[in-house]
Amino acid sequence: MNKGTVIKSTGSRYLVKYNDKIINCTLRGKFKTKGFRTTNPIAVGDNIEFEITDDEFTGLIYKISERRNYLIRKSTNLSKETHIIAANIDFAFLLISLVKPVTYQMFIDRYLISCEANHIKAVLIFNKIDLYNQEELQQLNELINIYSKIGYNCIPVSVKENININAIEEQIKNHTIVISGNSGVGKSSLINRLQPGLKLKTSEISDSHEQGKHTTTFAEMHKIGEGYIIDTPGVRGFGIVNIENDQLSNFFPELYSLKQLCKFNNCTHTHEPDCAVKKAVETGKISISRYRNYLGILADDSAKYRQDNYL
């Protein structure tokens, strides 16, 4: 049996990197992921075992190695089905833009919760700073302030104007990275900037809606220097998977770190007396926008299943 890594998946076919070759593989039989339903049993980044079939460049996948971690989201409206975005990653980059298109803070928070729950270090990259006006630059500063204070690396960049791209290279080094974000924020453009030879397809955002056009349609892993970066299709929302309400606050680092100081050890930081989190919100130690998003996700359980409410 040969061991390889999935670098692209198009539903029924998988491109597998094996030494310096690319093998076009299919699955042998049915693969099920334990514990939940998913639209894709094998994701980009999975290490698999396969056998070469008729010719040198096609193969059959027999086995997936255990995943170190994976990034997962709900796939469609009201669906219980989930989609594994990528597996075995060192950092999850979230590419954000404050204009054309606007990334909402609720989207950022849902993404971060998913990363925390799956033990993946997230990095927030704010792109298109060349387009920001005074007000948007102020908003940028506020967001960087909020998120860097609670431990997330924040990198403001302009892919277009080549500003601060070296900070991203510094973060990639020899790691494996997945990059996510709304359609049109510049994920593929960033990868082209890091490795111009790739010539990934990009397109202008639409004039009327200022939204991306879903240009990238399949996740794919690309080599960048000594590391790897997985480009993914843009998404509108990031549905949280398998997190119960009583666990939710554990995935907000600033809430989690105060939990011990609440009067009740099962405090949900909503109505309870002597709640250290509520006190910290009042004194401004915890960001009100983060706390509001926490309450929003808690209160509207069904929001976990509704795309429109992810914003």
Ligand X SMILES: Nc1nc2c(ncn2[C@@H]2O[C@H](COP(=O)(O)OP(=O)(O)OP(=O)(O)O)[C@@H](O)[C@H]2O)c(=O)[nH]1
Residues binding ligand X (CB under 6 A): 127-128, 130-131, 158-160, 181, 183-189, 202-205, 212-216, 233-234
Binding to Mg ion (CB under 5 A) within 199-258 occurs at 215-216
Tell me if 155 contacts Zn ion by CB under 5 A.
Answer: no
Least distance to ligand X from the beta carbon of 163, Å?
Answer: 8
How is residue 197 written in tokens?
């030879």
Binding residue for Zn ion, selected from 129, 155, 168, 277, defined by CB under 5 A: 277
Least separation in angstroms between residue 129's CB and Mg ion is 19
Choose between 235 and 277: whose C-beta lies nearer to Zn ion: 277
Q: Residue 72, SS3?
A: strand
Site map for Zn ion, 250-269, x if CB under 5 A? Answer: ------------x----x-x
d(CA 105, CA 87): 25
Helix (H, G, I), strand (E, B) or coil at 106: helix
Q: Which is nearer to Mg ion, 82 or 216 (CB)?
A: 216
Residue closest to ligand X, measured at CB: 234
Nearest to 114 by CA among 100, 128, 94, 131: 94
CB of 203 to Mg ion, least distance (A): 8
User: Binding partner of residue 277 among ligand X, Mg ion, Zn ion, none, CB under 5 to 8 Å per kind?
Assistant: Zn ion
DSSP string, 248-281: HGGGSHHHHTTGGGSSSTT--SSS-SS-HHHHHH
Enumerate residues 163-202 that contact Mg ion by CB under 5 A. 187-188
Q: Which is nearer to ligand X, 67 or 236 (CB)?
A: 236
C-alpha–C-alpha distance, residues 100 and 114, integer Å? 25
Which partner in Mg ion, ligand X, Zn ion, none is near 269 (CB below 5 to 8 A by kind)? Zn ion
Sequence-separated (6 or more) residues with CB below 8 Å from residue 180 = 71, 85, 92, 93, 94, 95, 111, 187, 232, 235, 238
Contact 31, 37 (CB under 8 A): no
